[in-house]
Every structure is written in structure tokens, then in C-alpha cells.
Structure 1
Amino acid sequence: MKHTYTITLLLFSLFITAHLIGLGVINSYLNVTPEGVEWKSLPSIAGVEVERPDVAPQYSIWYILFAVLFGTVLILFIIKFKTMMLWKIWFTLAVTLCLFIAFAAFVRPSFAFSLALVLGLIKVFKPNIYVHNLTEIFVYGGLAAIFVPILDVMYAFILLLLLSVYDMYAVWKSKHMVSMAQFQTKSGIFAGLLIPYSKTGISVKTTSKTAAKQTAKSVKTAVLGGGDIGFPLIFSGTVLAASGFVNAFIVSLFAGLALMCLLLLSQKDKFYPAMPFLTAGCVAGFLVTLLI
């Protein structure tokens, strides 16, 4: 088993919470009319509209894959040349935008932006585990509200398949996904859930800080990458648009159960591509919705 039962249940609970909130965010931007589904516009920032990509579903998967590859190349560039400020600026902008879209589903846009900006800055420049995970359970709802409207169930499924293949290659073959995860964890700016172990499970390296000494503390943590939360949520969001909240949550629940199975069956200190398991869970959940 990769983590303790407590950590495993906590990761599962936060995954489901992020999906519940995310589905609520997506639903708030959705209008179901007799003529079909209509999507509300995203909120504007200082009068400037935030627009979704204007692409058809059959092309949107390539748009999203290109964005994933571009982000990967950028992170690898940052790792190689140690341009941490670029990483912080990019991450702050992305997090603030997604949080703004998520919060604006529930509160006035002006307050949503202020709250998103404050939390985004704290998350990056004054990180702590509570703000980090609080923002993580909201940020993917904002991301999904951008991309779900340009997909449908079939193309979202194809996207999951392609991402599963990429994830397996990136973890088992090229291993650059492992390098990126380690870099983000060490930098303290991680796209995904971070759960520190209890005192009995903490691995600490400490040196005292005096006039000539520095203090560094490394705490053992369990992580779940942001893509492993966000992409299954996008698939669930397309199910929400097609057949309602209950069916979408069933898909998310099965994805969460697939994640739990992976965590229970995997071994400590080994890296596994989660997307193939999450995709299988999404498909199983979707098939269940067809039977009820």
C-alpha cells in the first residue's frame, strides 16, 4: 500500500470534495433550455471578458493536449534553467484565474476576484498546507468551467484515453512526469493535493539556524497531481451537461474509487500513472449511469 489508510482516505475525500465543488461550479454556468444546453459567459475582470476557446469538440482535444504539452515543456525549461520566478508568476496567474471563475459561481465577481487574488498570492508566496489544499479543491472547478463547454462526452472520453497513454509514457518511459512532480514538491509550489504525514510518518532533515546556519525541514507528504483531479472532472462535467448532476457525480465517485484502488494496491516509494486507473473508473461510472 502506497500510503497509510488515513492518508488514503483523506486523498479520496479531498478528491470527491473537489469534484462535488467542481460540478457545482460547472452547473452554475449551465442553462438547460427546451432547445438544449446553453453556457453562460465567464465573468469579466475589470471589464475585460474571460473567453473560452472558440473551437469545436472534435478539435478541442488537440487544443487541450497542446496546452498540456506546452505546460510540460515550460516546466522542464524552468527546471533546467532554475527560473523560479517565472514559475511563480505563471502559477499565480493560472491559479488566480481558475479560482476567480470558481468563486464567481457563488459570489459577486468583484469579491470573487479579490478573494482569488489574495489566496493565489498566499498559495505561491506564503504557502501553508491549509491554503494550498483549500485552493486545490476549488481551482479545478474553474478550469473545468472553461473547457467542459468545448467538449462532449465522446471527445472527453477520447481525451482521457490519450492522456492515459501520455501519462504512462511520462511516468514509466521518459520519467519526466516524475521529475516535474519532484521539482514542484521541493519548490513548495505544487499543482495538486499535498497531505503531510502525522508525526509518526514524518521524515525530517533539520539543521539549526544561527548567524551562520540555516534551517531546512523536509516533511514526508502524499501527493495527487492536479491533472488527476481536473481531467476526470472535465469528463464528469460533460456527463453533467448531457444527463444531469446525479449521473455526473456517479462518474466522479467511480473515478474516486479507482483512485483508492490504485493507492491501496501500489507500493511505497514507487511512481504510478494515475490517469489509466482514473479513466477506467470514469468509464465504469458512465456505464453504470447508462443502466439506471
Structure 2
Amino acid sequence: MKSKLSPLFWSALVMVLALVLALANARQGETYFEEQGFVSPDISIGPIIGYFFGVVIVIALILFFIPLGKLRLVFRVLFALMFAWGVLIISGFSLPMWASYTLAVIGGIAWLLWARIWLHNILLLVTIAGAGSVFGYLFSPLTFMIFMLIIAVYDVVAVRFGFMVWMADRLSESESLPAFIFPKKLRDWTAKLHDVKVGELSEKKSEEREQSILGGGDIGFPLMLAVSVFYQTGLPSAIIIGAFALAGLMSAYLIQLIWLKGKPMPALPPIAFTSLIGYLVVRFVY
């Protein structure tokens, strides 16, 4: 039971830490945006959906038609740049720019040349928190809530027909997996990212798996919603959204453990459902 519950613990810890980082950065960003006279563009739902599915289709076509040998370096460089950007966003409001850029370069290069599971998880957490604190400013809470519900439906379909596992497996083979990896054994946190193969994990029984996988979007989407709520109604409301999203994440693991007996399942649908409840509470009750 201990090994089965450990992914739940790590997932909860990641979501809480990411929420704290994102909201702390958003509070600093709010002051900066006000000083600069920036106004949220409140992007409508159409462009968001179009951009998301456009990116998914392009990545899928690239992974299908181009050999991994030619993709590995390109994807790794892109991920290194993404992680460097995340470090820069999180540190930019609290550190001198030279220090932020230095940390960003160190983080990106370290992941590129020495990718370990623990380092990957930390950099992904920081990057998702940074993205949430920035992109949450661009949308109204209602717009992003609708977006989350649409993506939750896509998540169910993608997992049901194996598309999600296929894409994650291909990305893991290129050593560029946009997901958190939670080994069952502490010593395996120092393992190379190259050793993680999503396709092999999905074929094993729950008790035989050495790692569990949590998609970055399962953390990132509720973060963006919480930040969007923060900019519109304040910190207490954002914390309420975060608490409901955390409850959804926990329920996803319990559903997988009790009803699905460890089979792969999309975590976003229960997260989106509880986030919707939190949004309704914030809007009409709180």
C-alpha cells in the first residue's frame, strides 16, 4: 500500500509547491503589470482551442513521420530553453536580472547535459509555475474554465484510444517528456531520464511499475485557472480553486487505485470537475 500511495503524495506535493510558486510570482507580477499599465487582453476561447489542438496535431505529425534519431537533439534543446525560460520567469521578479539569467542558463544546460529524474521534476515544476503565473493573466476565469472542460474531454478520448500513451512514449524516447516522474524507490530519483519509457510502464501491472507518470498539464491547467482567478478576485479565491483542484487530483489517484486497478487514466477530468465546483463556489458563494 505504501508504494501505491507514494505517487499520490508526490503529486500532491508538486501541486501545492507549484501553486505556491505561481501565486507568489503572480503577486509580484501584478505589481509590475500595474506599474507598466498592462491590461489583460482576455483572450477568447476560440484562439486558445485552435492553438492547443494545432500544437497537438503538429507534434503528433512530427513524432509520426520524423525518425527519433533526428528529433532527439531538437526536442532536448527546445526543452532546455523552456526550462531556462521557466527559471527566468520565477526568479525575475525577486533577483537581479544578471542572477536570473545565470540561474536560467545553468538550469537549461544542466538538464541538457545531465538529465536526471529529480532535476527534470524540479525544473518542470518551476516552469509550469512560471507559465501559470504569466498565462493566467491572459484569460478570464470563465474562459479558462471552459477551456479546461474541453481539454478534459479530449484527455478521456486520447487515453481511451491510446493516443496519449503513444505520444508520451515517443517523447520519452527522445528524452523530452513534459510530465512528472515519480519513482517508487528514493534511490531511483537519481536515475537518468533516458531510462524512463512510458510505453513499457503502461504494459506492466501497477505493482510491477518502477515509476508513475503525471502529465504536466494536469498541474499546469488548474494553476492557470487559479492565477486567472487571483488577478480577478484575489488570493483567497485562488487558494480555494487550488484546494478544489488538489481534491480532484487526489480523487484521480483513488479512482485509478480502487476502480481501475492501476490502469492508466486521464487525471485532468476529475481535476477539471472539482475545479469547476471551486469556480462556482468562488463566483456565487464565497
Question: Which structure 2 residues correspond to residues 113-192 of structure 1 after superposition, within 5 A?
Answer: 113-173=101-161, 175-192=162-179
Over 3 Å counting, the alpha-carbon distance change for 1:56 and 1:125 in structure 2 is same
Which residue identity does 1:62 align to in structure 2? G
- Using the size of structure 1 for normalisation, the TM-score is 0.79
Question: Structure 1 CA distance, aligned partners of 2:58 and 2:20?
Answer: 31
CA deviation vs aligned residue, 1:216-253 (integer Å, no higher than 9, x gap): 78782111111111111111011111221122112111
SS at match of 1:30: helix
Aligned to 2:274: 281
Q: Is the 8 A contact 2:40 2:137 kept in 1?
A: no
4+ long deviations beyond 6 Å = 199-202, 215-219
Query: Shift of residue 66 of structure 1?
Result: 3.3
Q: Does residue 71 of the first structure (1) align with residue 55 of the second (2)? A: yes
Aligned to 1:291: 285
Aligned to 1:251: 241
Q: Is the 8 A contact 2:132 2:224 kept in 1?
A: yes
How many residue pairs were aligned?
262
Question: Which structure 2 residues correspond to residues 233-248 of structure 1 after superposition, within 5 A?
Answer: 233-248=223-238
Q: Does residue 225 of the first structure (1) align with residue 218 of the second (2)? A: no
Query: C-alpha root-mean-square deviation of aligned residues, in Å?
Result: 3.0
Q: Going by fraction, where is strand more abundant, 1 or 2?
A: 1
- Using the size of structure 2 for normalisation, the TM-score is 0.80
Question: Structure 1 CA distance, aligned partners of 2:133 and 2:186?
Answer: 38
Over 3 Å counting, the alpha-carbon distance change for 1:167 and 1:39 in structure 2 is farther
Which residue identity does 1:276 align to in structure 2? P
Q: Does residue 106 of the first structure (1) align with residue 97 of the second (2)? A: no
Question: Structure 2 CA distance, aligned partners of 1:17 and 1:247?
Answer: 17
Identity of aligned residues (%): 22
Question: Structure 2 CA distance, aligned partners of 1:118 and 1:9?
Answer: 29
Aligned to 2:80: 92
Q: Is the 8 A contact 1:29 1:40 kept in 2?
A: no
Q: Is the 8 A contact 1:75 1:87 kept in 2?
A: no
Query: Shift of residue 58 of structure 1?
Result: 4.5
Aligned to 2:180: 193
SS at match of 1:233: helix
